[in-house]
Amino acid sequence: MDVTTAILTRRSQQVLDGPSPGDEEFIHLVRDASAAPDHGRLRPWRFVLLRGDDRDVLGNALAEDAEDEQNARQLTAKLHRAPLTAILVFSPHAGHRIPEWEQLAAASCMTHSLMLLLHSRGYGSIWRTGRLARSASARAVLGLVEGEQLLGSLDIGTPDPASLHTRRPQEDVSARVTLFRDVIRHETAKVPVGSHAA
């Protein structure tokens, strides 16, 4: 699958069944995805992989923050929407010359690259945030240390084949691109006649 096709046909997949990548295949894909832009090659991210009953342990942690028992069951059930849950942890290098916002951008670029690579191999994924990203109990059970942040999780598995190659409608983005000469022309037009630059 060429890059343009991967970009235009990738979708966040709500329904995912098996199989999912095994641990070695996932590590291989992350290694490839880590070629994404990353100023300083800091790799300010890591994954925690959950399968099977592992997800119940995390679900029980999320349930501690639930409003009631029904909400707790829903939170636990949501972790079983795919055969693999890859928890994305942002691990910035504090005090580094590369600012934290650039490190967060690197983590996001890597994650998008990973989702494209998964799609190119016939897997589906969806990046979920929600309650997980805000849960102190989840942080504890996942072993996050001070300074790390939960960026959510990737649900990964095999989607319905019919959903894999529908091209996304392309929108007109010309208003999002400005030629610098047009900016200069616009700014020059604002200067009153007879005025002089200081």
For the chain, the domains span 3-190
**Is 77 or 152 the better-scoring residue by pLDDT?**
152
Distances (CA, A) of 93 to 38, 78, 102, 108, 146: 13, 32, 11, 15, 11
Query: Cα angle vertex 109, ends 81, 175, to 5°?
Result: 105
End-to-end CA distance of the chain: 57
Tell me the two tokens of residue 148.
């790390």
Tell which phi-psi region holds residue 73, choosing left (phi > 0), alpha (psi between -120 and 50) or beta.
alpha
Distance (Å, rounded) from C-alpha 37 to C-alpha 189?
Answer: 38
What pLDDT does residue 198 have?
Answer: 46
Beta bridge partners of 125: 12, 156
Closest-CA residue to 152 (of 111, 123, 121, 193) = 111
Distance (Å, rounded) from C-alpha 65 to C-alpha 44?
Answer: 28
Mean pLDDT rounded to a whole number for the chain: 90
pLDDT tens, position by position, 91-114:
999 999 999 999 999 999 999 999
Q: Which CATH class is domain 3-190?
A: alpha beta
Stretch 183-191: mean pLDDT: 77
Question: Percent of the chain, pLDDT > 90?
Answer: 64
Burial of 97 (0-12, 13-18, 19+ CB in 10 A): exposed
State pTM to two decimals. 0.87
Q: Is the pLDDT of residue 177 over 60?
A: yes
Contact 83, 20 (CB under 8 A): yes
CB proximity list for 43: less than 8 A, separation 6 or greater = 34, 106, 110
Stretch 147-162: mean pLDDT: 93
**Is 104 or 133 the better-scoring residue by pLDDT?**
104
